[in-house]
Chains A and B, each alone.
Chain A
Amino acid sequence: DTAVSQTPKYLVTQMGNDKSIKCEQNLGHDTMYWYKQDSKKFLKIMFSYNNKELIINETVPNRFSPKSPDKAHLNLHINSLELGDSAVYFCASSGRQSANYGYTFGSGTRLTVV
């Protein structure tokens, strides 16, 4: 049973399109995150939601919009895709009530913009 699952795993799209990545966690965690990992493997946090409320919003173009319908889901919508958006996007979740905070990543979505 996958703890943090994100779909799709691969996404190839043309510039200018709008796309969404979905994330779901079944760990009962209160906080969910979106990270962007570039070709140099650097993990850059984009957003953090706690119980459906936005708590971290790093400097990210407003073409990126997170949506959290409930605390188990955090989706990422990207409008007007650009070549520079190509990267691997990871969803993660954490729970302060868990031992060691239980910070868990999904398996990633590789986005390629052509």
Chain B
Amino acid sequence: QQQVKQSPQSLIVQKGGISIINCAYENTAFDYFPWYQQFPGKGPALLIAIRPDVSEKKEGRFTISFNKSAKQFSLHIMDSQPGDSATYFCAASNTGNQFYFGTGTSLTVIP
């Protein structure tokens, strides 16, 4: 059973546009929700993360929006750039014991 569901599978955005990737979870014991960015030939790298006691976290052009009641969280990439083209994974963890990853979203930003 997929603990974290991610959509869309792929996304194409024009340069300067907003990229939005959504994730949903069921386990209310999760207390940490990171997003990972993976470039071709590289391992996933932590991009930004949020805990359920806040509804939004922003770091530069990247923002996580978190809706605890709906058990959903999303990644927004403002002013998307070609260099943002990568695969993005959401994840969830319960006290760091195990991380559950979404199925990934392949983002392509067109110049």
Interface residues of A (CB under 8 A from B): 4, 31, 40-43, 45, 48, 56, 90, 92, 94-96, 100-101, 103-108
Contact = CB atoms under 8 A, between A and B. Distances in A.
Contact of A96 (B91, B95, B104): B95
A105 B32 contact: no
Interface string B73-111: 000000000000001010101011111010110100000
B11 interface: no
B104 A41 contact: yes
Nearest to A33: B99
B98 A43 contact: no
Interface of B: 32, 34, 36, 38, 41-46, 49, 87, 89, 91, 93, 95-99, 101, 103-104, 106
29 contacts: A40-B103, A40-B104, A41-B87, A41-B103, A41-B104, A41-B106, A42-B103, A43-B89, A43-B101, A45-B98, A48-B98, A56-B98, A90-B43, A90-B44, A92-B43, A95-B96, A100-B34, A101-B32, A101-B96, A103-B34, A103-B91, A105-B43, A105-B44, A105-B45, A106-B43, A107-B41, A107-B42, A108-B41, A108-B43
A29 B22 CA distance: 30
